[in-house]
Structure 1
């Protein structure tokens, strides 16, 4: 009888211990949580750069991880305290394999941003453009004009082989682009798509000054660098399998927003302005551009 009582007592103790252990396990708070991102319009960056998400927690950035795939939605595991305390989400473009202090904070190329409202943050690319007062603007109100001309050579038979983003309706000529000022880490770039291949006209920050390759362009003529506005003469050399000079009528003209630094040979996803050069376009005559295929990037983040 004593043996049976001892066994019963031991069983009761074991049952109580297991029950308490189960209760303790059920009461353990999770240390991580899921962050799901769903973005529209992102494009593959190539081998040298990656996208990286960031939570802003008490004013400091906390990485949510890097990615290269642009198939969404994607989900990432994040520390629960940071996830719950975050007020803002930021998506940046970073050098692949970045280490050291620079890897602890987002680069200047912050592409998307938005504040959390409850468990969701609506993000967009408006944060990359500002006006003169520093107020954030969007690219949707951008406008553009251009002319066909080749001012860097003395040949008047190839004027349809150059494009300049200016308005010469009156003298002197004025800027042909209405674009907001970009924040650090971004530049504008002009393109002409020739037989399906985009060929750059050069990068620029200001619409009323020459672009950055004005003096070094491999395509320009030998008579100066052209007017002090963004643009390009395609009068020497070749690109996209086409020998210059050529005829830009029927070709597509694009203005894109590019991360800086950037080593891509194609326009970035943000394209606020575009236009197909009319087949009957007259040289030295102002032509209006229209809104591009993607003036804004957007998405959502859920915790």
Structure 2
């Protein structure tokens, strides 16, 4: 009987030892990916961020997280298969629908970076991200070409158009051509909030919207912009002058997570009183608005 019990005890101890070894083996198969990113916005309901590492040219997810209204990430440390993480050559952050019906990365690849040893510095200027905005520049002018009551009513401060005035106006943006998943949008910050002038990717064509403009001149010249005559939301008053207001160009994800301006605001300027034929210059706003950070493994 004593011999039987000893064998049984030994068997139990052996099983316990095997279980612990298995746990240790499982734990050793994962490695932590740590995010240290500042400047990400709360995407609201229906969207989330997702990280990816590129392994042999293919994306492998590292996990999904959200950001609250204070800019705090819901998770910063992600256990990833160690072999996969060590083989990763780059990290990419995307904006995904939530819940996400597609296991592949969305087109809206936001910030990315190449691993140097165990760290990657993230910017919009790597791989499939939107591009390099460090030298972004451009001009705008105040004029109201859609005023159906005439062109000389001394109300040119009621409209803003992006480019240089002329007959016709011409494009003046130094901005990168955006990849799929992104689009430019113009804004004027009103008394009650931001007013969109429309989305665009072609600097030499009209933008997507003329919801506030008049009807003269087929709703505007062949550059993006807007006159502010009609349909202004509650809280705005007429006449609406652009002078003294912030004029902004943003880079928006497609599909767009919010009707408000997105974090990426490469160009911004407080409009002065000069009207066409004078133009005004945007300021480069990249340092103030673009996210920064690193990932480490």
**Fold conserved (TM > 0.5)?**
yes
1:165 has 2:162 as partner: yes
Alpha carbons of structure 1 residues 20 and 253: separation in structure 2 relative to 1, 3 Å? closer
> Aligned with 2:77: secondary structure?
strand
Write the distance in 2 (CA, Å) between the matches of 1:264 and 1:15: 59
- Equivalenced residues, count: 287
Write the distance in 2 (CA, Å) between the matches of 1:295 and 1:166: 22
1:199 has 2:198 as partner: no
> Aligned with 1:237: secondary structure?
coil
Write the distance in 2 (CA, Å) between the matches of 1:268 and 1:258: 6
Partner of 1:68: 66
Write the distance in 2 (CA, Å) between the matches of 1:44 and 1:12: 56
1:28 has 2:25 as partner: yes
Deviation at 1:292?
Answer: 1.6
Deviation at 1:163?
Answer: 0.2
Which structure 1 residue ranges, 5 or more long, are not aligned?
131-135
Q: Are the equivalent residues in 2 in contact too, given 1:125–1:298 (CA < 8 A)?
A: no
1:174-202 per-position Cα deviation (integer Å, ceiling 9, x unaligned): 21322111111111111001126111111
1:114-137 per-position Cα deviation (integer Å, ceiling 9, x unaligned): 12122211111113789xxxxx95
Partner of 1:133: none
Partner of 1:82: 84
RMSD: 3.0
User: Which one has the largest radius of gyration?
Assistant: 1
> Aligned with 2:122: secondary structure?
strand
Partner of 2:146: 152
Q: Are the equivalent residues in 2 in contact too, given 1:158–1:246 (CA < 8 A)?
A: no
Partner of 1:113: 112
> Aligned with 2:52: secondary structure?
strand
* Correspondence list, 1:41-56, <5 A: 41-56=39-54
Q: Are the equivalent residues in 1 in contact too, given 2:187–2:247 (CA < 8 A)?
A: yes
Q: Are the equivalent residues in 1 in contact too, given 2:163–2:223 (CA < 8 A)?
A: yes
Deviation at 1:297?
Answer: 2.9
> Aligned with 1:243: secondary structure?
coil
Alpha carbons of structure 1 residues 295 and 140: separation in structure 2 relative to 1, 3 Å? farther
TM-score for the superposition, normalised by structure 1: 0.83
More strand by share: 1
Q: Name the stretch that deviates more: 217-226 or 239-248.
A: 239-248
Q: Are the equivalent residues in 1 in contact too, given 2:47–2:257 (CA < 8 A)?
A: no
Write the distance in 2 (CA, Å) between the matches of 1:128 and 1:146: 30
Partner of 1:38: 36
Alpha carbons of structure 1 residues 174 and 128: separation in structure 2 relative to 1, 3 Å? farther
Partner of 1:277: 271
Partner of 2:93: 91
1:208-260 per-position Cα deviation (integer Å, ceiling 9, x unaligned): 111122xxx22110212110001001111212511343111110000111111
Alpha carbons of structure 1 residues 77 and 285: separation in structure 2 relative to 1, 3 Å? same
Partner of 1:291: 284
Q: Are the equivalent residues in 1 in contact too, given 2:182–2:252 (CA < 8 A)?
A: yes
Q: Are the equivalent residues in 1 in contact too, given 2:192–2:236 (CA < 8 A)?
A: no
> Aligned with 2:126: secondary structure?
helix
